[in-house]
Amino acid sequence: MKVLQAVGISMLASLATAAGAAVTESVADLPTRGVTERILYLRPDAPVANLVVLVGGDGRLKLNADGTAETELLASSAPSRMRHGFANAGFAVAVVDAPSDLQGVSGGLGGYRQSGQHVADILEVIRFMRDRAPVPVWIVGESNGATSALFVALNLPADQPVGVVLMAGPTSGGANLRSLPLRDVRSPVLVLSHSTDPCADLDGQTRLVDDLREAAAVPALLHRVFTGGSQGGSSCSSGYHQFEGLDADVVDAIATFVAAHNAAIEIPAAAVSAVEYYHAGLDHYFVTWVDAEIARLDAGTTVGWSRTGAALRVLRHPGPGTSPVCRFYIPPQSGDSHFYGRGTAECDETAAKNPSFVLEEPQFMHVVLPVAGACPAQTIPAYRVFSNRADANHRYMTARALRDQMVARGWLAEGDGPDLVVMCVQP
């Protein structure tokens, strides 16, 4: 059973940053509300934060699967133009295109930028990023994208706090930043302006900052005004409005603010249910907490699987004392299955001993590792058994009696201590 997740990802390249760390670049199509949201995703080895980049203009990058774009926005919009600088600074970056249902519509995005649909789409981007790098999320919006950024931040679920960077956003006219309910802003906010921006005047930017300071319980607020750079033409798609000639300074300003206020948007670790499925024809078991995978299995899109009624309560993100669980795909010649390695040591050892295995996720979920087979308070033991067949498969459970039944069928128990406990999960 190949990767179930209904996310299409095209790997593009692995580049070396100035600091020598690798940055992987890919294009991903994320399912959302029956359509898809395409992103250009850059991930360094160990991200310090996730940046969701929302461009201005009509919002349509028209990204191709190879990472190129059919419009000029990818190269002209300030934060998308600076994406490699952000990655070099240690940020995972998702440059967001307009969703598939708005690609063929003429004109701007209109009311979409302040809609529940927009919030739903960006929430899927955030989930995608946090699943791959469980670090704080910041939404960076430029021009019209700044309105998107603040609106989304105001309307995300309470368990999805974000920081916000507003770059030369509109402060007057139709849909503008000052028309939003600023008293409800609870995110750290960085406002970036240019002193001679012909499209977002400094007076308006200053009034926005004053409004935020007076109306909102913002944990951190900074207004950074830039000078210099290059105006070039008179268009809002270039020049001072896009901070041309100031890329390094802007990246540094954002990196400095994020470093100072990342802790303000840490998300508490929350438990999710990793649901167990069984394929009678294969005599294979599989567990997942991923909504898209669960939907495909329950609908029968991935054929032959049914729920057993069992589940593991695991953490989606790291918590105190937790260890990451990696997920490998075992290719058909070795089982056409999945293996969940507990902790970095077992994951590294598995990869070294089985070069044909495909590492799907280095941090698929998080658990606590037992000490000499004992689990700490507030957790319960989980057990693992191995099929001991050529078509390798493992099963995970919290019931010792079930583990013993599997052993009686010829499966091998694996784990630590006298009771062979493999990991400690949430009760």
Domains (range + CATH), the chain: 8-265 (3.40.50.1820), 271-425 (no CATH)
What is the rounded distance in angstroms from the CA atom of residue 391 to the CA atom of residue 156? 43
223-276: pLDDT as tens digits: 999 999 988 766 788 999 999 999 999 999 999 999 999 988 877 677 899 999
**407-410-415-418 Cα dihedral, nearest 10 degrees:** 50
197-211: pLDDT as tens digits: 999 999 999 999 999
Report the pLDDT value the prediction gives residue 418, as an integer from 0 to 100.
Answer: 96
Name the phi and psi angles at 80, rounded to 5.
-75, -35
Element (H or E) spanning 24, and its range? strand 22-32
Report the pLDDT value the prediction gives residue 131, as an integer from 0 to 100.
Answer: 79
Q: Are 396 and 287 in contact (CB under 8 A)?
A: yes
What is the rounded distance in angstroms from the CA atom of residue 330 to the CA atom of residue 337? 5
Closest CA to 393 of 409, 417, 416, 373: 409
Residue that wins the pLDDT comparison between 18 and 213: 213
Give the count of beta carbons closer than 10 Å to the beta carbon of residue 353: 8
Residue that wins the pLDDT comparison between 319 and 92: 92
Integer Rg of the chain from CA = 24
pLDDT of 16 > 60? The answer is: no
Count Cβ atoms within 10 A of the Cβ of residue 101 and give its class: 0-12 exposed, 13-18 middle, 19 or more buried. middle
Q: How does DSSP classify residue 101?
A: G
What is the rounded distance in angstroms from the CA atom of residue 1 to the CA atom of residue 350? 19
100-135: pLDDT as tens digits: 999 877 777 878 999 999 999 999 999 899 878 889
CB-based contacts of 318, cutoff 8 Å, min separation 6:
134, 269, 324, 363, 366
Name the phi and psi angles at 124, rounded to 5.
-65, -35
3-state class of 102 per DSSP?
Answer: helix
